[in-house]
Chains A and B, each alone.
Chain A
Amino acid sequence: KAGVTQTPRYLIKTRGQQVTLSCSPISGHRSVSWYQQTPGQGLQFLFEYFSETQRNKGNFPGRFSGRQFSNSRSEMNVSTLELGDSALYLCASSPGVFSSDTQYFGPGTRLTVL
């Protein structure tokens, strides 16, 4: 079974721009969660989607948004980029049925904001 894939792997943007990141979950998984990883704040939960609905949300500003498609692929968008948005953005997929379902992570998208 193929793992979680994320595209692009690396991205460089400038302040004020917007960016869209993509995540394809493991086949059959209906839940996709997004996390931001920085050296200073560690791994922080952004949001989770299940069957095209946002089911859970972390404490990030409204500039961070996401969506999920009928094939369970998910995208996250960050508008009006700030320098502090530079981070590794990780998505994780799981079956999403039970809260104890294991989450499997993709390799991440490294976003650099200049």
Chain B
Amino acid sequence: GESVGLHLPTLSVQEGDNSIINCAYSNSASDYFIWYKQESGKGPQFIIDIRSNMDKRQGQRVTVLLNKTVKHLSLQIAATQPGDSAVYFCAENALGGGYNKLIFGAGTRLAVHP
């Protein structure tokens, strides 16, 4: 399949463990943050989002944490499964930056081992 990123940082976990993927964002004016998952040969798939007036949001097996003080975002995946193996991107949308102009992080490759 196509290579999303040849030299991305990689997080290796055992199946069943919890995974934490971190992201630092740069624009303090950003008011909306999203995590996407991209599998080989596919477009990014929406996982979960959070607005700047929140510091935590939970979905099914996923939790996003936002720390605006240090401009840090994290994605926690509970009971990681082989199907979670992919590249994960954080993205931000800046207030005043215009509609639908997402700024993406470099991505983290998650490798889940059985």
Contact = CB atoms under 8 A, between A and B. Distances in A.
Do these two chains interact? yes
A42 B105 CA distance: 8
Task: Give the size range of B's interface with the partner.
Answer: 20 to 34
Interface string B44-58: 111001010000000
B103 A100 contact: no
Majority DSSP secondary structure for residues of B touching A: loop
Interface stretch (A12-20, A76-84, A87-95): A87-95
Task: Give the size range of A's interface with the partner.
Answer: 20 to 34
B98 A56 contact: yes
A70 interface: no
B31 A56 contact: no
B44 to A, nearest CB: 5
B3 A90 contact: no
A96 B100 contact: yes
A28 B93 CA distance: 22
Interface in A32-66: 33, 35, 37, 39, 42-45, 48, 50, 55-56, 58
Contact of A92 (B41, B100, B105, B106): B100
10 contacts: A39-B4, A43-B44, A48-B98, A50-B100, A55-B100, A92-B44, A99-B31, A99-B95, A103-B46, A107-B42
Interface of A: 4, 31, 33, 35, 37, 39, 42-45, 48, 50, 55-56, 58, 88, 90, 92, 94, 96, 99-108, 110
Interface of B: 2-7, 31-32, 34, 36, 41-46, 49, 51, 89, 91, 93, 95, 98-107
Given A42-B106, A43-B89, A103-B100, 16 more contacts: A42-B5, A43-B44, A48-B100, A48-B101, A50-B100, A55-B98, A55-B100, A56-B99, A58-B101, A90-B43, A90-B44, A92-B43, A92-B44, A102-B46, A103-B34, A104-B46
